[in-house]
Structure 1
């Protein structure tokens, strides 16, 4: 469903305790890492002083007298020196470089590949991490390193090749929340477009009707999820609901919402002028696997409650709609 609705906005919340599982990296994880790293590099990498002890033919920094006094006569002209270099070679940067190089070799998405290789040129002088676990233990979280914190969870996912699960666990990472009602709506829309006969068009989020007028102005805009039209004439109104129904629980109205029925009643009188068929579709489950008998608002206006099979990507169309609306065309599902 996420792959079908790639433009669906995600919401990054506070860090949470989740479970992870061993899996190859997903493109969206690699994309989020390179975007976070790009933002970090624009703010600037943190450098640190690193003590270097070496032998040179010139003096720099401090002379190590103990080593120098032990030099043999033939090497008296070689100086043992100590000095500090201001380098980006620090644990955090080494880990980021290692994660970035892994993504450069794995990603198959054009934008991620382009950005990752651009960033690789900016961190080319930083060495790769030789001990990932040790470098993570040395990752500092003080005030000067605060701007590194957003990229760390992504870096951990990339280097460990662990994907997050929507279950409580011991891993401290990122929680991604998706509005399931919107995800389900867009998923159904895409699948219907693929299977709908060519003579029909599918319009999403129509907003051409309002519930009433007041002083010449339209009030309370009506926005059904989907309209099926034939030659610009609406023949079917559909609404999607991410809820669980039970076809056996008639005492509790199968789990249906009275508010949803009021909404469909308004759609029927404004988009179908009180005559025709409407559909409320819910996810198919073991307790709801067949289309219910129609709910009649009047002799001419009916509402069907149908399941959408997420495993087969099929709508369970009522036989009456197949025969009247889509006849003589064949419609999958």
Structure 2
């Protein structure tokens, strides 16, 4: 067993390990860390702007999120569904991503399945010795011309094999194969899997997670949120030479951008302000310089405020380029209010007036170590400050 590699997000230093080339190639493919060859079979491992955990053969690599695992899971859940409320966030103090995620998934699945798996009607095509549902005439003639039985039919089956249960079972199956699960978790996963024994697992690199919230599946909501996080970001596959690769890798800057956009949309909605994210436009009249602001807020159908989320430290030396960028966005879209939202709350919010221009830029820090309730309150206060300016 190789000594685990533990890095912290934004860590400047690196770790050096002696590993074989196949392991190094598989690790690089996960994109969790930068892998640079040195001499004598040694490799330098550095952070690459993502967090998560990877196990390849006997090598464990972890990049720990600065905000903490519980807060990261909240941002992931809220960015996909604003109904993922602060009190729904896993109350875990685990310092390792896989145990924390496994505990959350199992706990919410146990709660969802306490009354038994939900059922629904699913269309089934089958060959039967009797009439059930509707006879598929064309299929019957093609399969057995001139024969009356057996019959090709289609009918609705009242079953537990519905999309919601498929999402849960697939996530549980994936989680059962990750390393370092806490004591008791494998047994709890096995019991949950047995309750879903009639349910098919989803297949493919990008499984279809299509399900719609209804009154009947409302109690599944939290479990489905955690399960979808597992399915979107976790994988288990074979690497070079048959190496087993288990990975959970998250591009945190994208999660932060999504969270800011969704939280602002929710906050602005009560003021009847429309919010669009990742709006594609151009800086120049020739339409050759493309721009893509994270958030464009519009009032009465016209762009009113532009917000860009920056997942990095806010310091005295690193924000000039960000200001240049947001001023360009404001100029191109004809608005006078811009905002840079930073992911670290070390400084106070501050307005910047641009010389010889009506444009004002608000630099606004968010403390991601705060509770989810305080975090959402900070976004609501941001929306009010921007509206007061315009």
TM-score band by shorter chain is 0.3 to 0.5
Larger Rg: 1
**Normalising by structure 1, what TM-score?**
0.47
**Normalising by structure 2, what TM-score?**
0.40
